[in-house]
Amino acid sequence: MQLNARTLQIAFRMLLACAAGLLFTALPIHAETYLSGTYRCTSVEVAGKTVPCKAPSLVLKSDGSYTMLSETGTYEIVAGHWLVLSASKRHGRARIDGSKEIIFEFVSRGKKSRIVYRRKYQRPSGWVAG
């Protein structure tokens, strides 16, 4: 069976289109304004047991930077649902659940851990209690 030039050309175009699509979906998006805000720790599980939450708040800023206590860095969104903090070596990436929860799942000292952060409600600017 011999392949002609037309068949190879069509196959190459399809391969190129698929590669471009995969590249586009894997590119990180640096800052998402809908995520900016303060997130507080709501639950911590270590080896399946819930423990008191002592993790500091996570502040995501609209310019793509974040702070967590004294740790500062940048964040990016990968594939639309993974949050990656540049300076965080302990937690790794987190799953974004809508725009209200950020869930870190990692192994620490051989134990599977999970920390859930929930967005703190912030009043709109100019809001006055009456």
Between 67 and 6, where is the model more confident? 67
Residue 3 pLDDT grade (very low, low, confident, very high; cuts 50, 70, 90): low
The pTM of the whole model exceeds 0.75? no
- Per-residue DSSP letters for 101-129? EEEEEEEETTEEEEEEEEEPP-PPTT---
Identify the CA nearest to 99 among candidates 77, 66, 74.
77
Tokens of 130: 């009456």
Tens-place pLDDT, residues 18-49: 444 444 444 444 445 678 899 999 999 999 89
Say if residues 71 and 60 touch (Cβ distance below 8 Å): no
Identify the CA nearest to 77 among candidates 63, 92, 59, 64.
64
